Amino acid sequence: MMTDTIIANLPADGLRVVMRSLLVLFPEITHAFECETKKYVEQRVMSSLIGKDTMPSVPDLEKTQQIARSMLGCGLSFESLQLFQNLVSQAAILIPRMNGSRLGELYTFLMSVDGDIVQAMTAVQKSLFIDTGARAMNNGERSLVETLHQSLTSCFSTLKTSKRDYPFGRSLVSTAGILGLPRPALPDAYQDLVDQISLTPSPLQARETFQLNGRKIPRIFSGLWQMSSPAWGAASSSKIVEQFSTHVRQGFTAFDMADHYGDAEIIFGRFSSLYPHRDAIFTATKYCVFHPMVVSREAVQANVTERCRRLQSEKIDLLQFHWQFYENPDYLDALRFLVEDDRVGTVGLCNFDTKHLLKVVESGIKVDTNQVQFSLVDSRPVFEMGSACEKHNIKLLTYGTLCGGFLADKWLGKTEPDIYDGSTTPSQRKYFEMIRSWGGWNLFQELLTALHIIATKHQVAISNVATRWVLDFPYVGAVIVGARMGISEHTDENLSSFGWSLDQSDRDMIEEILMRSRRLEIFQKVGDCGAEYR
């Protein structure tokens, strides 16, 4: 009775806090949580459908979106498509009837739905690459995708007639790709993108580069992981492409993405295929194995084929391989097949620890990079990974270097954030937990204060000092800075990370604080690089 009283009376935000805490502390309950969620949302599917004759408000639509998102979260990707199709149909009805602020509110909501559908298509695509390789959709699955695509196409035609903006451009491309539709069959909704890209001038020379398999590569990559979910915000294809153009103009010509980052490969592929200076762009993507699979040359080649299709390219500059199950040594065979594939320019690793990186090297497999988390707050690579990389001429590509944006001027002097606030991003939740493990918010404020003093001395920002600290390690090739494409722009700020280095007094000031942190304890308890994902 008492626990039921808590559940009945605790505010929704409080329930979320408790659920997140339970899943972190007791990960073994995750499967049961997902199973019960499936039962709940499957019972709510039909009641979430909105009738064609109604005039729902945005809050009404949001309830349907919440159920659809929950279905995605517990693995019901195909089952969620009916709800998304319903939302698209409602959009075609509502947009021509609305004006002013109500219309603006609706478009903001529908752009988030556009991102959700992209995420659903990514989940569908990943489900087709489990076990022995690529499989075809069955008739029922294909019918669900076709119905959604038809609704997207119909909505486009309706809004074109009423001269209203179309909010589902990314979804239209993603669903067409899953169905294997030829590009001429798509409505020509993207001529403005073609015009933007064709006018993009040649990029500036990167101010700092490193050598990777014979190529000069910028030492800052633009990371596209935030395109994997609308939780970081949603933007239209045209705005995203506009920022791609801005990045390459400034010399940020290296982009990092993955097979599970939403439609990052698709939109970037469209941009790079039309960009007049494509040879100047460096494309890094990933092949991530999160589920057990039977490794074969055919299965590995099928994944490479899919990467090339989405990127609209005959070759991938850098393909980074993630393997979830160290106890299964078949990852060595998969890497050999990748190295032997002429379509892969360079093979790298992603979230491999030192022990298994060395197993790869000792097996005679040539890898040139390893992508790992590395920052002032998570310095695990300095203990073992760095020396192994130097010995075998492997460069680290580092992410999390800005701790989800916490290593920035905006957090200096601020109180500890509420990480369960609705505006908090998944990255901020993740890295705030890392800050707690590292030494807590008070010590983190001491670190920000020191970084601010150093930044003032060099006339840069705190984020530049944090980036520079990582770049100054000889085994680091580049830092990957997350880019919220179409939402926020930081290329000018990122440029300030180049052209200077920390002097000894700067390093000493930082080290005095790091010595009081629990950096070694993180390495000992969490494990080597990538262990937090296993």
110 and 216 fall within a common domain: no
173 and 278 fall within a common domain: no
CA distance 89 to 96: 12
173 and 214 fall within a common domain: no
Domain that holds residue 173: 44-185
Tell me, yes or no, whether 1 lies in a domain.
no
Q: In terms of Cα–Cα distance, which of 46, 52, 39 is closest to 88?
A: 52
233 and 84 fall within a common domain: no
248 and 118 fall within a common domain: no
Domain boundary among 130, 159, 185: 185
136 and 205 fall within a common domain: no
What residues contact 520, with CB distance under 8 A and at least 6 apart?
A: 383
494 and 412 fall within a common domain: yes
**Residue 344 CB-half CA count within 13 A:** 29
252 and 272 fall within a common domain: yes
- CATH number where 478 lies: 3.20.20.100
- Which amino acid would we find at residue 23? L
For residue 167, what is the enclosing H or E element? none
171 and 289 fall within a common domain: no
Q: Where are the beta strands (DSSP E) in 64-203?
A: none
CA distance 33 to 25: 14
Tell me, yes or no, whether 165 lies in a domain.
yes
Tell me, yes or no, whether 37 lies in a domain.
no
Altogether, the residues listed in the chain come to a count of: 534
Strand partners, 487: none
Tell me, yes or no, whether 15 lies in a domain.
no
CA distance 465 to 442: 19
Tell me, yes or no, whether 34 lies in a domain.
no
Alpha helices in 49-138 (DSSP H): 58-73, 77-94, 100-127
pLDDT at 477: 98
Tokens (6 digits) for 401:
């270097």
157 and 288 fall within a common domain: no
Tell me, yes or no, whether 25 lies in a domain.
no
DSSP β-ladder status, 209-212 and 215-218: antiparallel
Calculate the CA dihedral of residues 15, 23, 62, 75 and round it to 10 degrees: -150
225 and 371 fall within a common domain: yes
Task: Identify the DSSP state of 338.
Answer: H
CA distance 239 to 262: 16
Tell me, yes or no, whether 22 lies in a domain.
no
pLDDT at 187: 45
- Full pLDDT tens readout for the chain, 534 residues: 788 899 889 888 788 878 877 886 787 898 899 999 999 998 888 888 888 777 888 899 999 999 999 999 899 999 999 999 999 999 999 999 888 888 989 998 998 899 899 889 988 988 886 544 567 889 999 999 999 999 999 999 898 888 888 999 889 888 988 898 865 344 444 556 666 666 677 788 888 999 999 999 999 999 997 776 665 566 667 777 777 888 888 889 999 999 888 888 988 988 888 888 888 999 999 999 988 889 999 999 999 999 999 999 999 999 999 999 999 999 999 999 999 999 999 999 999 999 999 999 999 999 999 999 999 999 999 999 999 999 999 999 999 999 999 999 999 999 998 876 666 777 788 899 899 999 999 999 999 999 999 999 999 999 999 999 999 999 999 999 987 665 556 678 889 999 999 999 999 999 999 999 999 999 999 899 998 887
Angle at the Cα of 14 (from 13 to 18), degrees rounded to 5?
Answer: 120
Q: What is the pLDDT of residues 174-218, one digit of tens each?
A: 898 889 886 534 444 455 666 666 667 778 888 899 999 999 999
Q: Give the DSSP letter string of 230-281.
A: GGG----HHHHHHHHHHHHHTT--EEE--TTSTTHHHHHHHHHHH-TTGGG-
- Number of structural domains in the chain: 2
Domain boundary among 185, 219, 252: 185
360 and 437 fall within a common domain: yes
- pTM of this prediction exceeds 0.85: no
Tell me, yes or no, whether 220 lies in a domain.
yes
Given a contact cutoff of 8 angstroms between Cβ atoms, the answer to whether 311 and 258 are in contact is no
